[in-house]
Chains A and B, each alone.
Chain A
Amino acid sequence: MKVVTLRGLGLALATATLLQLGGVSAHAEELQVTIDNFTFTPAELKVKVGDTVTWTNHDDIPHTVVSAGKFRSKAMDTDNSFSFTFTSAGDYKFFCSLHPHMTGMIKVE
């Protein structure tokens, strides 16, 4: 799996390190959204400020993840990923800019 943003990679390493230290509850969590059959799963996800969400495309067709004015991935080919760390609360609607009928939402508390 390729993690596209360095920021996401950094957090992934940080989380891994915390887990190795005996599962001290990490403030920032890593959450996953998968893309299968032109569908985001889960379609809606609740996270906390500081959490990182990683989208991974399992389709044979490229997809993107775009939240207007907030974040925009490059085209993700099969098994490519994109990560974003949410630093402020709010509802982040997102969609695939190639197949705009694919939509989802991250609720950040």
Chain B
Amino acid sequence: MPHDHDDHNDGVSRRHALECMIWAGTGVLWTVSGGVPKSLSLLDKAEAATAASSFTFLQISDSHVGFDKQPNPNALGTLQEAVDKIKALPNTPAFMLHTGDITHLAKPAQFDNASQVIGSAGLDVHYVPGEHDFLDEEIKFYKERYGKGTKGPGYYSFDANGVHFVGLVNVVDLKAGGLGNLGAEQLEWLESDLKGKSKSTPVVVFAHIPLWSVYPQWGWGTEDGARALEYLKGFGSVTVLNGHIHQVMQKVEGNVTFHTARSTAFLQPAPGTAQSPGPVKVEDSKLRSVLGIASINFKQGDQPLAIIDTPLQG
């Protein structure tokens, strides 16, 4: 597929970023130098070797365990394939993020099956919930499994390798006609969580629904996401990782890189290209090319960041 990545130090234009957004090959490698993302030659051996010497973590999303309809009658099976791919990586990631919709219907058995398969990767996993994980009235099934040490419905932060990670919950208390929602309490917590952090600390924010407005007509955005981004102004490197829309999409605004990961269960249509955001019925032979995982790499020192999206197949 024709797609020219240049290796010069001239950064990346918005047009170029959009090209990368729509490109659907085996993976795209991004790096951030001085806060400006720059695309690198795809899976270039030298770059891959550089990546090997630095800090890498993984993102998986939207495993929808329990989904059993077309185009994927076995969402647990494709989750297992994703985990097998993770286990086969040449460099073990530090840990994994799961950006929600672990299960399809928040049933205890679905959570248990998901835990068993995801656990077989042998990595620490940091979760945030999707709306499908909160279908029981008291949201206790998610919280009793993943809620320890979290606040409110499950938000928290932690530090790893000099990077500050913030897991946010934007799937509760949604209002009629509205979008994803963080709420005043969580925003206050976020403000105080970031206060006192050096502006040179790289920050990774992860939440289920995109924090930026992807396509409000389908609810793909977060009502008060802009307020969260206010608190992130001034930080040299901010990466926002989301799921929910079951496709890779990337946007760069100033020092903030927004990125959504593929689902491990089914594809959703590109914004506005179908009557509704329901699953795209791809042929069996194509299913694994639209599912996948993302790995994110930080090189210490000059803070470059790279996101590689890898489909399960193709």
A86-104 contact mask (Cβ, 8 Å, vs B): 1 or 0:
0000000111011111010
Interface centre among B104, B176, B279, by most chain A C-beta atoms within 10 angstroms, is: B176
What is the distance, in angstroms, from B101's C-beta to the closest C-beta of chain A? 10
Contact assessment for B131 and A98 in the assembled complex, using a CB-CB cutoff below 8 Å = yes
Tell whether A103 pairs with B69 under 8 Å between CB atoms, given A62-B105, A62-B135, A77-B105: no
Residues in A whose Cβ lies below 8 Å from that of B219: 99-101
Residues of chain A within 8 A (CB-CB) of B105 are 62, 75, 77
Q: Is the CB of B132 within 8 A of A62?
A: yes
Main secondary structure of the interface of B (DSSP, over half): loop
Q: Is the CB of B174 within 8 A of A97?
A: yes
Q: Tell me the smallest distance from the CB of A35 to a CB of chain B, in Å.
A: 10
Chain A, range 27-60, C-beta contacts under 8 Å to B: 37-39, 59-60
Measured between alpha carbons, how far is A62 from B179 in the docked complex, in Å? 17
Knowing A60-B70, A62-B104, say if A100 contacts B177 (CB, 8 Å).
Answer: yes
Among A59, A100, A101, point to the contact of B278 (Cβ < 8 A).
A59
> Does A68 contact B135, Cβ atoms closer than 8 Å?
no
Contact B217 A101 (CB under 8 A): yes
Q: Say whether A61 faces chain B, with CB atoms less than 8 Å apart.
A: yes
Contact A95 B177 (CB under 8 A): yes
Chain A residues within 8 Å of chain B by Cβ, number: 22
Closest to B219 in A: A101
Q: Which residue of B131, B137, B217, B278 contacts A60 across the interface (Cβ within 8 Å)?
A: B278
CB contacts (< 8 Å) of B217 on chain A: these are: 101
Nearest CB of A to B100, in Å: 12
Q: How far is the CA of A88 from the CA of B184 in the complex (A)?
A: 34
- Of the listed residues A68, A74, A77, A100, the one surrounded by the most CB atoms of chain B closer than 10 A to its CB is A100
> Which single residue of chain B is at the shortest CB-CB distance from A101?
B219
Q: Assess the A101–B177 pair: CB atoms within 8 A.
A: yes
Complex CA–CA separation, A43 to B271 (angstroms)? 23
Distance, CA A101 to CA B181, complexed state (A)? 13
Q: Which residues of B are at the interface with A, using a C-beta cutoff of 8 A?
A: 69-70, 104-106, 131-132, 135, 137, 174-179, 216-219, 275-279
